Chains A and B, each alone.
Chain A
């Protein structure tokens, strides 16, 4: 089969699968809580895939990824909410309307997050060392706190303060009419985005670009010595990473069965940390690893939360009121991570990929007339 034909077939199969999920998702997963979890896992996969570009491939440690997801979530919610009102979407988010709402929301979220990525990355990636980690962490917290602490009382504010006030502060943003962000992102959009992002991440990794990024991660001086400009590659990959995070954010805020308000505390440091865990756990640099890591971490975190609801645990809490259950959750989570790091220090896949045979050098070297100087 010729490559274009094969590509066409795979693409149509994937489109059919995504449409099938849109139609049949509720009958496959009847429980709304599980549906929400499954979609959230897919959003996290997009988050992990995007973080993998800068953390895994380029080897630059960014620990504020939640900030870019948050920017995307707010941008997406604002665009989706306003387009929804503008087209007169009514109280229900219809699938046919989602084609009018989701594309602008996703694009705007990606662009705005990418712009902030450029602003953050340009100064900090020129420096050597761990400055990126510090700057990204600071940026994510600044973003969260600026929104969380905005004054929401008093309607007649203008300018920046007014715009911030309309984001709802600590209580969250619930669309332009304050009746919830329309939840257009169903399985079609979320699974579809996962497919597109995974394809792009894969192609990025297995191209000259990905090779240059990995070379940069291994040795910056040597890659500069063969003409790879570290700053340019790092900044571009950081922006790509931010765009991906922004798109994931837009999916999150419009997610069907999800939370209809976007709250700043969704994007705290713990979420950034989860994103790093997904990448490292799956195998830094591995695209399939990020997918598995995203799903794994989402479900593990959920399972541990479920554990808290167990009767025996609740009884324990009654017996010992001083016990902090939240701390207990972190202890279990940490234990799981430590266990995995002992068993597989390089992550589940290392840098390798699932479903990928070792690439043989397919092009045969031309026969040389003179061979080396060894003769």
Chain B
């Protein structure tokens, strides 16, 4: 499998705060890749580094399909084929649902400003093709009937789906989803899981997922990278991550029966790790001590 995205010793400091410290991982093409960690672990910062909103500290390298990303502007990175959604939904509020999606193909059109001002046949053809494609995408995300509504009037879940539709309009090869399941109930999250897999198979894209909802993460990701306090603490398949002592420590903040406590990061983030026990099954042998904590939250989710 070829590598879609590669981060090599990427760091980012804001003033004295080290948000991301020396993170390296590579995402194989075509996988659904999970990037998880307690609140404040630097997951969204990593997304912002990949999409060029922030530039990594000197020495960090990010390459997408072999192309260097660090030296490019966010809009150029997007056009390389990296689409994203945002943790705090960022839609174009005053624009309609359809217009929101259409903006994402602005750079793909053949009819440019002059064509638009003269209203040449090319302009109309372009507009028609783009609209058809946009409506098709809206249909996929069940937003077809709302095409003419202002995007702010949509419900929260629909706004989240619209963000994904907009990112897909870009025709990306890599899709970054920042907490797509936030605020979703169990059924909606199950739907999202299917949708993510379906998108990957239909459009042959790679997906990176930042998510707190473990039901979604464990259910859909094939490979998971765990951050805590900006640093990598684990990397592996969902099964490996589920049992990983450091991960459990980071999320639950328990003293480890195996004696890992010394190297485990401090337990500051445990109160925030609200969804993390969402493991459908109780953890394996290594997690015995945590079983008591996980069970009630599992019950809450299902």
Contact = CB atoms under 8 A, between A and B. Distances in A.
A95 interface: no
A224 B132 contact: no
Contacts of A364: 135
B128 A211 contact: no
Contact of B78 (A224, A285, A358, A368): A224
Contacts of A7: 119
Contact of B106 (A212, A230, A351, A374): A212
Interface residues of B, number: 63
A113 B170 CA distance: 36
Interface stretch (B20-28, B37-45, B79-87): B79-87
Contact of A372 (B84, B92, B106, B198): B198
B92 A225 contact: no
Contacts of B106: 208-209, 211-212, 226-228
B184 to A, nearest CB: 13
Interface in A327-375: 351, 358-366, 368, 370-374
Nearest to B90: A222
Interface string B18-59: 000000000000000000000000000000000111000000
Contacts of B90: 219, 221-222, 225
Range of interface residues on chain A? Answer: 35 or more
A214 interface: yes
Interface string B154-171: 000000000000110110
B169 to A, nearest CB: 7
A208 B116 contact: yes
B136 interface: yes
Given A224-B73, A226-B83, A373-B195, A215 B128 contact: no
A214 B94 contact: yes
B132 A214 contact: no
Interface string A114-142: 00000000000000000000000000000
Interface in B130-155: 130-132, 135-136, 138-142, 144, 147-148
B281 interface: no
A359 B111 CA distance: 21
A15 interface: no
Contacts of A366: 132, 136
B104 interface: yes
Contacts of A374: 142, 191, 194-195
Contact of A212 (B86, B103, B111, B131): B103
Interface stretch (A148-156, A171-179, A199-207, A293-301): A199-207
A221 B53 contact: yes
B75 interface: yes
B148 A226 contact: no
B131 A223 contact: no
A365 B170 contact: no
A366 to B, nearest CB: 6
B103 to A, nearest CB: 4
A365 B143 CA distance: 12
B197 interface: yes
Contact of B148 (A215, A351, A361, A363): A361
Contacts of B194: 373-374
B102 A372 contact: no
B75 A358 contact: no
Interface in B71-109: 73-76, 78-79, 83-84, 86, 90-95, 98-100, 102-107, 109
A222 B91 contact: yes
B78 A218 contact: no
Contacts of B74: 221, 224-225
Contact of A360 (B52, B76, B104, B148): B148
B113 interface: yes
A26 interface: no
B166 A365 contact: no
A305 interface: no
Nearest to A4: B121
Contacts of A212: 103, 106
B117 interface: yes
B116 A209 contact: yes
A372 B140 contact: yes
Contacts of A215: 92, 95, 99-100, 103
A3 B127 CA distance: 15
A225 B84 contact: yes
Interface in A182-224: 200, 203-204, 207-209, 211-212, 214-215, 217-219, 221-224
B123 interface: yes
Interface in B180-199: 191, 194-199
Contacts of B78: 224-227
Nearest to A359: B148
Contacts of B139: 365, 368, 371-372
B95 A208 contact: no
A70 B126 CA distance: 39
Nearest first, the 10 closest Cβ-Cβ pairs linking A and B are: A207-B116, A365-B135, A373-B194, A373-B195, A224-B74, A222-B90, A226-B104, A373-B198, A218-B92, A229-B75
Given A224-B53, A372-B139, 4 more contacts: A215-B100, A223-B103, A225-B167, A361-B147
21 contacts: A203-B116, A203-B117, A204-B113, A208-B105, A208-B130, A211-B106, A218-B95, A221-B86, A222-B92, A223-B92, A224-B52, A225-B84, A226-B106, A226-B166, A226-B167, A227-B104, A365-B132, A368-B139, A372-B139, A373-B197, A374-B194
